[in-house]
Structure 1
Amino acid sequence: MAPIHERIRQDLLIKERSLWTALTSADPGPEIEKLSNDEANLLFPKTPILTLDGEPSMKQMLKPPFHHFDAFQLSDVRVIIIDLMAGTVTYTINASRGKESYHATGSTTWSQASDGEWRIVTHTETLL
């Protein structure tokens, strides 16, 4: 594997962890907005497709206590490098809040913007 691919793989894993840290925080909206490309689509179980300017907007739907968990773990993590400026991370999610548990598969596709930052193109979760 080319060294550049390994760097992309590591960058995407760091970004995915940042996404989940934001998703499970007390107020995820502002950070998710910063991580998202202008055209981003987020697909959560039992929720309309969220976009920055859609109805309901990402900001409206991601306000507290959206996805607020005490702990989360990503397993079976795979990074697929699409090209030098795009990649997808897939995984299984196990999260908990008190005695409540959340089990799903997840996938996030990232693209690198002209400023060099990786941004979410689409994020999907499917309950198991």
Structure 2
Amino acid sequence: MPSMYDRIREDLTLKEQALWTALTSADPGPAVEKLTNPEGVLMFPQMPEILSMKDKDRFREAMAPPFHRFDGYQFDDVKVIIIDLMAGAVTYKIRAVRGKREYRATCSSTWGQGSDGEWTLFSHSETLQ
């Protein structure tokens, strides 16, 4: 039977994959919003501002179609850091493609688990390599 820490690592890795599946979709807003905590923020290299769930209108505007960031992605060098039994961070390198263009970045996301057992995103950032 996997340890509690192994289950947390697996849960957080799956949540991060769900985030990137949403980000690579043609209409990421609804799925990313569902994954993100009401206090959550997202930082992307091409956006000069920090997207905050506290400003849902701006968040929805930034994520609106044709926001299709990538056609596919691959994680490398994934590390899950367990902060405590209800919080953790995922750091990794991402290689994503859009047509013939390649995107490489280092990423970090912090997740927290609510009393309902659901993991939500508190912070996500990407830094171009």
Determine the structure 1 residue equivalent to 2:6: 6
Cα distance change on mapping 1:120 and 1:55 into 2, 3 Å: closer
Q: CA RMSD in A?
A: 1.5
Say whether residues 1:22 and 2:22 are aligned partners.
yes
- Separation in 2 of the partners of 1:112 and 1:32? 16
Determine the structure 1 residue equivalent to 2:59: 58
- Separation in 2 of the partners of 1:44 and 1:67? 14
Determine the structure 2 residue equivalent to 1:100: 101
Read off the aligned partner of 1:124 and give its amino acid letter.
Answer: S
In structure 1, runs of 5+ residues without a counterpart are: none
C-alpha deviation, 1:67, in angstroms: 4.5
TM-score (norm 2): 0.93
- Separation in 2 of the partners of 1:98 and 1:120? 28
Runs of 4+ off more than 6 Å:
none
Determine the structure 2 residue equivalent to 1:81: 82
TM-score (norm 1): 0.94
Asked whether the equivalents of residues 52 and 58 of structure 1 are also in contact (C-alpha less than 8 Å), the reply is yes
C-alpha deviation, 1:76, in angstroms: 0.5
- Separation in 1 of the partners of 2:46 and 2:72? 21
C-alpha deviation, 1:46, in angstroms: 2.8
SS of equivalent to 2:4:
helix
SS of equivalent to 2:14:
helix
Determine the structure 2 residue equivalent to 1:68: 69
SS of equivalent to 1:57:
helix
SS of equivalent to 1:32:
helix
C-alpha deviation, 1:100, in angstroms: 1.1
Cα distance change on mapping 1:85 and 1:96 into 2, 3 Å: same
Determine the structure 2 residue equivalent to 1:120: 121
